[in-house]
């Protein structure tokens, strides 16, 4: 968990699935892709918190209100032979942008990647 001023970055838990779904729909609307955003809460729960999670999410909260997220998953780069993380989505609510929240999310994903690479 990382805290900067009133913003907290933390790993999502299964109970966050409705919030993650809402933020994904906000991102889709912002990108004018709402019509193709058909993911369900059940699909998110399975993909993020099932027996074999396919991806992970970290949430940014400002005064305990979810305002952004990053969704990422591990991969293996065969040429150098090292693990890595691919960040699929990064989103901060438009009214909360310009405060470093996106940067904090990105930095947390980078820290996670470095920590995991060192363990390999």
Tell me the three state secondary structure of residue 27: helix
For residues 105 and 118, the model is more confident at 105
Strands (E) in the chain, as ranges, are 2-4, 7-11, 56-62, 65-77, 82-92
Q: Residues for the chain: how many in total?
A: 120
In percent, the amount of the chain with pLDDT more than 70 equals: 95
Rounded-to-integer distance, Cα 117 and Cα 73, Å: 13
0.85 exceeded by pTM: yes
Least Cα distance to 17 among 37, 38, 46 occurs for 46
Q: How far apart are the first and last CA of the chain?
A: 22
The tens digit of pLDDT for each residue in 60-82 reads 999 899 999 999 999 988 998 88
């Amino acid at each position: 968990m990382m805290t900067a001023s009133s913003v907290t970055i933390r790993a999502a838990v299964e109970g966050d699935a409705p919030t993650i779904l809402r933020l994904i729909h906000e991102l889709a609307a912002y990108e004018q892709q709402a019509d193709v955003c058909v993911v369900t809460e059940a699909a998110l729960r399975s993909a993020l918190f099932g027996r074999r999670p396919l991806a992970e999410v970290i949430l940014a909260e400002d005064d305990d209100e979810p305002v952004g997220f990053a969704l990422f998953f591990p991969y293996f780069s065969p040429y150098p032979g090292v693990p890595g993380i691919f960040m699929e989505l990064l989103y901060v609510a438009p009214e909360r942008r310009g405060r470093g929240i996106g940067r904090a999310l990105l930095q947390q994903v980078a820290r996670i990647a470095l920590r995991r690479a060192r363990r390999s």
